[in-house]
Structure 1
Amino acid sequence: MPPPPTPDFRQLFEKSPDAYLVVAPDADFPIIAVSDAYLRATQTTREGILGRPLFEVFPDNPTDANATGARNLRASLERALATRAPDTMAVQKYDIRRPEAEGGGFEERYWSPVNTPVLSAEGEVRYLLHRVKDVTDFIHLSRHRDAEREHLATLQSRNVEMAGKLMRQGQELQSTHEERRKAVRERDASLTLASEAREETARQREWLHTVFMQAPTGIAIFQGPRHTIKLANPQVCRLWGRRPEQVLGKPLFEALPEAVGQGFEELLNGVLATGKPYVGRELPARLARLDGGRLEDVYFDFVYEPLRDAQGRVEAVIAVASDVTERVRSRQRKEALAEERLRAAQERLRLATEALELGTWEMDVTTGALVWDGRMRLLFGLPADAPVDYPLFLSRIHPEERERVDRLVQQALAPGGTGAFSADYRIIPLAGAEERWVYSQGSTHADASGRPIRFLGTVLDITERKRTADELTRSAAILQAILQAIPDALYVGDATGIKLANAPALEMLGFASLEELNQNIATLGERLRNQSIEDGHRLTPEEEPFMRASHGQAVTQEVRSRHLLSGRDVVVRCAAAPVRIGDDILGAVAVNTDITERKRIEEELRQTAQFRERLLGIVSHDLRNPLNAILLSVNALMHSECAVPRHLKAARRIALSAERMERMVSDLLDFTRGRLGGGIPISSRPANLRSLCQQVQEELEVGHPQRDLRLSIRGERFQGVWDADRLVQLLGNLGKNALDYSPGDSPVDFVLRDEGARVCVEVHNAGPPIPADLLPHIFEPFRRATDQGHPTSGLGLGLFIVQQIARAHGGRVEVRSSAAEGTTFTVWLPRSAPGS
């Protein structure tokens, strides 16, 4: 059987019967998806709202001075974004703009919204899902009910008045039988009218009761001072854990005795007494909803709304409630987990501090008081109960170190200073003790105004490290100078370890220091296991040249292995010889020369010409011919008289894909020419760089109409002799790169400057900075600033081609990038390209 078709989730979302809107978690909440039900409810079109800020599409009614819908919705979205949990809003009045075809203006609407964050696997908010229910009819029905009640009361009052009037007329007209019959007829008519009004009111009541009972949220009506339950729909009965027959007609706190003393009675009494509604969010309650009547801790969002009689007196309270227990418990679990992680981190820090024998200190910057742990007091020779302050600390530092340490501390504490402290210094020894060296580092913590208030850090005893370093420095200074002057890797050793090694040797063997190398000497053979000679034979540890020399045999051999530090495959020429005194072998000396590059160049020179010709032929002929055929066919289809709209849409998509592929093929050709053919060829002629910048700006604006592209001109002379097409390609690549790697609401700036003998173009964007480790490699082929969060579809050759075009014109391109300034690419061009 064939596999089931993959569902089209976007179509399922758009055809959902509920009204949904998806916005991005940005400051303006741009709209990125919408269901058909939402479009119908708001009388909008998908084309008219997608990509636009939410509150630009749905502003408050400008004619309603009391409108708060937009403000309340923004606050709810920000809460959902901050808490990463759904946020349910109370019923909101939020008028909707009426289409111009229907008269324009705004139409009164009421909504019940819920805003839900959609999280990534890392727990970050990717989208916000806005679901609403149009409750306008429900609100209007409630108002209609109140109006009907007032109308009924008016009719009843009029009936009483009419009855009295008829009685007076009957007494005055007793002598006239016909007039008495007329009075009777008028009375009967009045009574009939009252009966019809009562029937209509009963029908309205029955319809409203049906709406209440079918509502998706819990609704109940509590009447009188005992809060008798006059209405409870199925949803609220489920929230209470009761059946309707268990609660209807009973006082609330008799039906739910466990709710007594939890504050709900005071809230209901307050609404009855003041007539002011009460809105509660995530209020806790204990209800007997579990098996056996066991109490359960739950949380509710609810509204207590006063219900008034015909005279405006509060006779009951309407309660609308929803269960948010799971949302609250989820947040509580996250908070508990965060606290547990914090406690675990603090315990790990304590254990690490003890294991490293670190002393810790903390300083109150405002008073100068210090707090030292036991290790600090031991190092500085202070008893456990002795008070400590900054002057005492300075007094325990060796006089030759004191001024320097104090200066570094003050620099760290100065406003606008470094905020960090790091120093090694001597401390005055206790009586009879030897001099001690310590290393201390710390950092400041500031208040809201930026003023340092706390200064804390650690101290480590480095006496032994200092002594060892001094001894090694004195004993090996001359020999180390000789070793370091040798460019090849040289090391000397015996059966106990490596005695001498220069920097190239340490780097080749994969160690930071001679000490580290000797600490791992036992595993060095294991790490060298993958060495082999030219014919592919893998060397055993005994066949390794240094080991053979240690046994008395001089060896010179080319070895292929994996570089232990970088992990790259290398070819090394190993020359090893034994160190002898008489007939005794004391050890061995080895000189290793990395000849990988030489070998690579030899092989590359042999293959370059053949590879270049094959690659250029494939790219220029075998790839471009099918693309040209596709573009010609698609253009013919798009201009065909028999093409239908849905075919045209598909044809445009094919055309765009083919054009993108053609650009990629062109980039690949330029890369091949630049890397293998000695540079990108140019054809220079007189051109105006200002016109070229304006052309690129216009082309980019066509493809990105929603983005802000700005061109600044500084100077007058921008005429030169260049390849105009190549410069358009250069500027276009930089512009597209700036658009791809910057926020949609930030501008992209082109700055053109006249600098005399040369001109300069800067392309700036305010996006995230290029990582510092990638910045030196940004112009290498197949490199990007980052592969995350940017829907790029090229080969990663754009900036490489930019650099090649600049060099072909005798110019250069540079980049600077930081979080504070954004990213700026700068291109310098001489007035005339070489050879023009």
Structure 2
Amino acid sequence: MGSSFVARLAASEESLELADAASAGLAVAEGVRQSGLHSLLGLRLWPHGKLLGVFYLGVAEIRPFEPQARRYLETLVEYLSGIIQKALLLQQLRQANERLRKSETLYRLATGAISDAIWEWNLQTDTVSWSGGVEKLSGHTPEQLGGHVSNWYDNIHPEDRERVVHGIHVLIASGGQRWREEYRFHHRDGGYVHVTDHGLVERDASGRAVRMVGAMQDITARKAASEALRASEDRLRMAVRATELGTWDFNPVTGILRWDERCKALFGLPLVPEVTYEGFLEALHPEDRERAHAAVQWALQPASGGEYDIEFRPLRQEGRIVRWVRGIGRGYFEGGRAVRFIGTAQDISERKYQEQESRKRAEFAEQLIGIVSHDLRNPLNAITLSVAALMRQEDLGDRQAKGLARISAATERATRMIRDLLDFTRARLGGGIPIERKPLELHTHCRQVVEEVRLAHPDREVEVVRGGDGAGEWDGDRLAQVITNLVNNALAYSPPGTPVRVETRGVDGTVLLSVHNAGKPIPRELLPRLFEPMTRGRPGGDSASRSIGLGLFIVANIVHAHGGTIEVRSEEGEGTTFTVRLPRRAA
């Protein structure tokens, strides 16, 4: 475009003439060439030193333009430039008015949407204007607050007024620009609202303060929450001191660990030195370090939920165990990464010592039971053999025979009790009742055991039912204990005229043993602890066959030793059924 007529015209300060647009070397618009115009005269539009465009005219014949024609063109261009300049200024004015309208609308919507009270203070006249937000904040309309700054001061709480007024005037006088203060402002209902007030000072070219604009915000709820939090923290600190809890705070990102004085005292550490995580592990008993470290690492994984609860033994600096400590904490996560780990430490030495003493006493009592029970078997065996020898004599009278029978029954009952006590001791101290698996046909074995029980209860009906395959590998003697105990219980806790039903049934990889009686149901509150030691199903029953309350405990342990399960169902009108499920072979 540099060689075109328009380009030359735009760069020229004077009017430019083109003799023949059709044959000239300068490029012209195609429309001009096809219009039949030949001679062209033009001048740029250049008002106030800014190019707005170019203006040119043409004639059909080829001829030069007279000076008068050039003057007419210059006059016309100057007139057109003025019109264009005014049009541009009018457009800019309209745009400025539109921006101002949008700004005022935005300000009006913003001040209406928020609860802040916007104020403007003319520092030359001391007049203050308020936005409508002041009514939401204080209940006062802008008109009720009045237009003078003294009305603002009068609504500040008397205890805060001197501080606020003095502070704002010091800022203005010292050349400051930004002001912020918190105080209480009077509400129309007679109370006060807590506010935070921000202001900005506007100064003229000489630095003199001429205007101040600010926003007052209601922070009453925030202040109340802050006071409640402070009170809660005070109560927490008092509770921590009362319970002698130590507190700790670990940042997994930076590795910074903070202990309070109580926490350091639990470890016998001085208060001054900083504590590190490595130092914490080194202060533990060697047997507890790996376990404590694993517990911390697990608590810092999102899958753990941040839970941390562990007991360990700190060491004094000389390496002596002084106490047991329980650490409880919680990890907090952001984006799947632990960012904080806080908790408490509590001295539980007294409880641990009491637990140890209780455990020792219980173990001693159980060992004593085992020893006494074992040693009582020999004299009881001697009594049993002697009674058997005496009962074989032919010259016994009826009275002597009955006396020997009572001795025999009492000896047998004592033997059962001692056997139960020995099994109980094995179960509690020996890691469980031992069993010896051998091939066994449970259907046949169950019938034989039930026949032995029938001999002791000739007046009772015991029904035996079988089904499926009964083969497996079990300890026959131990299962005889299970069957005998369950059948005797069923006979003892059922009416004399009702039958007891014993069923064995093979089902795939297991064999089921169930014993049912039609007696009164077992109380529901006893069912959850029926298989605990020293527990009986319900009062009553046959006193002659009553045991010391270990039978079902031993039954459950024998069943569990075989890898099986036992459960009980007892309902009014249905009776009571014990069901044992035994896998055919060891897992």
TM range (shorter): 0.3 to 0.5
Q: Highest Rg: 1 or 2?
A: 2
Larger RCO (CA under 8 A, 6+ residues apart): 2
